[in-house]
Amino acid sequence: MGSTECTEREHVIEVTDLRRVYGGGFEAVRGISFHVKRGEIFALLGTNGAGKTSTVELLEGLAPPASGRVRVLGHDPYTERDMVRPRTGVMLQEGGFPAELTVTETLRMWAGCVSGAGPVEEALALVGLQGRATVRVKQLSGGERRRLDLALALLGRPDVLFLDEPTTGLDVEGRRDTWELVRSLRDAGTTVLLTTHYLEEAEALADRLAILHAGRIAALGTPAEVTAAQPSRISFRLPEGYALGDLPPLPELGVCGHETRADEIRLHTRQLQRTATELLLWARRAGVELRELDVRSASLEEAFLGIARESSAPSAPHDASTVAQRGAFAAARRGLFAAGGQNGEQDKERAA
């Protein structure tokens, strides 16, 4: 078995020391490494401007990296685009469909650009848009357009699916339906890489995730691993006449940090069971009621906010030409996909 086949079977996406530098020298992606296994859902999270889209565009083969390596299905998505593109489905943040076409016409048009496209009706049914088949795109709601985006990404029955904020604009039910669909695609063997701003979405869907901040990976692992790296929290109020100093010494309770706000005390601990037990034993011995007692493990949201706070060094300021380039790239990206995913000269220019 060749090494390419081996890599493809184990790591459908491989990213090593990846860097992306825009014209003007701004380094948006600063040496990141991760992999995604076959049949895994991997979420890329991050603050605004963290580098998620810049990374995904390299994975989609829209530009070459400044340095480092990307492999998708064992191939370089930029130089071996023909090997990769037919097996990937891409859901962009903005589809940019012709407004006058109906839903079915849009899918048929796209099916003509996709190799090995499945039936249009199949894609429609997957995203629950059967009832809207004859409606013009301009009459769709924002959520329905997102679902049409997803249907387009699924038309070619891809092995790898890139989803850029797939549920933005969907109502709660639409979001849950999309999660179900993404899970069933994963269970059928599709590898999914998604970006999202919804932490509950990452928590609900992702097998593994990376939190990007200022172009670097600040956390990587399963949702449980990422949250376990953050301290848990115990908060309570003491009765009048009691203060923090009445508690046993905090290190003896396994506490690694604390805050007080009026009569509310918050203890941070990496040994939740030990701290909670010692605290409750003390309260019983002292005959003290811990009012509004709240014991909780760190959530992904807390981990995310902790990372954003810790590494909030300002990034390089952008001048007007950078902003203009960014807009031009986004427009070109839409055009590229609408033109059937052909790699063009524009790519090389943008990548310069």
Ligand X SMILES: Nc1ncnc2c1ncn2[C@@H]1O[C@H](COP(=O)(O)OP(=O)(O)OP(=O)(O)O)[C@@H](O)[C@H]1O
Residue closer to ligand X, measured from CB, 159 or 164: 164
Binding site for ligand X (CB under 6 A): 22, 26, 28, 46, 48-54, 315, 318, 322, 325-326, 329
- Cβ pair 41, 222 in contact under 8 A: no
CB of 319 to ligand X, least distance (A): 10
The span from the CA of 298 to the CA of 45, in Å, is 17
The span from the CA of 92 to the CA of 149, in Å, is 7
Residue closer to ligand X, measured from CB, 139 or 311: 311
Residue closer to ligand X, measured from CB, 26 or 304: 26
Beta strands in the chain (DSSP E): 11-21, 27-37, 41-46, 67-72, 88-91, 160-164, 191-195, 208-213, 216-221, 232-237, 255-261, 264-269, 291-296
Angle at 81 between CA 75 and CA 86, to 5 degrees: 95
**Ramachandran region, residue 171 (left: φ > 0; alpha: ψ -120 to 50; beta: rest):** beta
CB of 21 to ligand X, least distance (A): 9
Residue 214 CB coordination number (10 Å) = 20
Residue closer to ligand X, measured from CB, 23 or 116: 23
CB of 185 to ligand X, least distance (A): 23
Residue closer to ligand X, measured from CB, 32 or 279: 32
How far lies 14's CA from each of 38, 88, 281, in Å?
11, 15, 50
Residue closer to ligand X, measured from CB, 92 or 123: 92
CB of 344 to ligand X, least distance (A): 16
Inter-axis angle of helices 103-111 and 142-154, nearest 10: 30
CB of 217 to ligand X, least distance (A): 12
CB of 326 to ligand X, least distance (A): 4
CB of 284 to ligand X, least distance (A): 48
Residue closer to ligand X, measured from CB, 82 or 310: 310
- Cβ pair 149, 157 in contact under 8 A: no
DSSP class of 4 = H
Task: Tell me which residue has tokens 């109906």.
Answer: 102
What token pair was written down for 64?
């070459």
Residue 157 CB coordination number (10 Å) = 16
The span from the CA of 16 to the CA of 232, in Å, is 32
Q: Is 17 helix (H, G, I), strand (E, B) or coil?
A: strand
CB of 50 to ligand X, least distance (A): 4
Residue closer to ligand X, measured from CB, 46 or 64: 46
CB of 53 to ligand X, least distance (A): 3
What token pair was written down for 224?
């449980």
Residue closer to ligand X, measured from CB, 13 or 28: 28
Residue closer to ligand X, measured from CB, 1 or 313: 313
Fill in the amino acid letter for 227: T
Task: Tell me which residue has tokens 């199949």.
Answer: 122
Query: Hey, which residues does 221 pair with through a beta bridge?
Result: 209
CB of 280 to ligand X, least distance (A): 42
